[in-house]
Amino acid sequence: MNRFQGKSVVVTGAASGFGRAIAEKFAGEGASVVVADLDFKGASKVAESLPRAEPFEIDVADEAMNQDLVAHAVAAFEKIDVYCANAGIPHLARPMVQMDVADFDRVFAINLRSVFLAAKYAAAHMPEGSSLISTASIGGKRPRPGLTPYNASKGALITLTRGLATELAPKIRVNCVCPVSSATGFDLNAIGVSELPEDMNAAVVSGIPMGRRASPQDVAGAYAFLASEEAAFLTGVCLDVDGGRSIQ
């Protein structure tokens, strides 16, 4: 399919995990892509593997860098048809009252403030029918102990998505995806290991009716759908990509 031929797409957090899969999905369907990440070396490697892509280094919580990202995308590809505000971080799992204030603030800056900044500076360069999509979490709807600030930041992102959708309609559609746990860098940052122990993985999967965790491709497919003409009447949607965890 070439659903995004001639389209310009920005993806944050695109050096790895969900973001890389999202960038590859849009590029594979004809889009030009700005591959943005704090890890510029990783972003450059991804961009080099795509047919029409530009790398960009960004801390998504930084206002000036968001302005520069938008300016770079417009200079390279003239417009922004799809802005994928995917970048986000968890925190080390622990009771909230044991968390440092600076760590709490950083989670909200990366997971929520970044989407505000993306919308603030990109909206003027997004044509009629364009999309702003972000990565929330099923934890934003069904929080669990140990990741309360992370889940709260994603719950706030869900509310931001729904409110912003009303403000930017009908020109720009605003949606988000809500993935369940995935074997990406999340595990390393949340529990300090790159791969869940077998018993812990089994416990996580036992709460997912589809019998597995989310893959980056699951999330990338949801992004592509929400940005496509097939979803032209969808805005303010927070799409569960959770294998049924939310109905357990």
Which is nearest to 11 in space by CA: 48, 36, 47, 44?
36
- pLDDT of res. 1: 78
Reported confidence tier of residue 193, pLDDT bands at 50, 70, 90? low
Q: Residue range 7-14: average pLDDT?
A: 98
Q: Which residues are CB-contacts of 150 (< 8 A; sequence separation ≥ 6)?
A: 90, 91, 107, 111, 137, 139, 190
pTM for this predicted structure: 0.95
- Taking the C-alpha atoms of residue 195 and residue 185, their distance in angstroms, rounded to an integer, is 9
- Taking the C-alpha atoms of residue 234 and residue 226, their distance in angstroms, rounded to an integer, is 7
> What long-range pairs does 55-62 form, CB within 8 A, spacing at least 24?
58/12, 60/12, 60/13, 60/36, 60/85, 60/87, 60/110, 60/114, 60/117, 60/118, 61/106, 61/109, 61/110, 61/113, 61/114, 61/117
* Domain ranges across the chain: 8-243
The model's pLDDT over 152-170, given as tens digits with 9 standing for 90+, comes to 999 999 999 999 999 999 9
Answer with the residue of higher pLDDT: 201 or 43: 43
* Catalytic positions, written as ranges: 150
The model's pLDDT over 16-48, given as tens digits with 9 standing for 90+, comes to 999 999 999 999 999 999 999 999 999 999 999
Q: Dihedrals φ, ψ of 147, to 5°?
A: -130, 35
Q: Dihedrals φ, ψ of 193, to 5°?
A: -130, 145
Both tokens of 121, joined, read 């500076």
Q: How far is CA 22 from CA 115, 123, 139, 147, in A?
A: 17, 20, 21, 25
The model's pLDDT over 85-141, given as tens digits with 9 standing for 90+, comes to 999 999 988 999 999 999 999 999 999 999 999 999 999 999 999 999 999 999 999
Query: What is the residue whose two structure tokens read 């980056």?
Result: 216
8 Å CB contact between 214 and 16: no
The model's pLDDT over 51-72, given as tens digits with 9 standing for 90+, comes to 999 999 999 999 999 999 999 9
Reported confidence tier of residue 183, pLDDT bands at 50, 70, 90? confident
Q: What percent of the chain has pLDDT over 70?
A: 96
Q: Which CATH superfamily is domain 8-243 in?
A: NAD(P)-binding Rossmann-like Domain (3.40.50.720)
- Taking the C-alpha atoms of residue 63 and residue 162, their distance in angstroms, rounded to an integer, is 22
User: Which one-letter DSSP state was computed for residue 53?
Assistant: E
